[in-house]
Copies of this chain bind each other. A is one copy, B any other.
Amino acid sequence: MKAKILVALKSGVLDPQGKAIQHALLGLGFPGVGEVRVGKAIDIALSETDPAKARAQAEEMCRKLLANTVIESYRIEIEP
């Protein structure tokens, strides 16, 4: 199975990288640009074949390594 994990900063947490992109886009002549938020998209190939077990594994990976749950939230999609 494949786990597609999206790790994003929680709303309310400052995102300096997003701010920098916003300013760069405004400077490049895109006047309609508002808030920009940047997250990580992590694709993991898993040998697990049961979707529920694959999701449980991915959850544990997020909690243990991939996300800092104090400031980041994560979303997991499991694909065959």
Contacts and interface: CB of A to CB of B under 8 A. Distances in A.
A22 to B, nearest CB: 8
Contact of A46 (B34, B45, B47): B34
Contacts of A24: 65
Interface of A: 6, 8, 18, 21-22, 24-25, 28, 30-48, 57, 60-61, 64-66
Total identical chains: 2
The 6 nearest A-B residue pairs measured at CB? A34-B45, A32-B47, A39-B41, A41-B41, A37-B43, A35-B45
Contact of A6 (B25, B34, B41, B46): B41
B64 A28 contact: yes
Contacts of A28: 61, 64-65
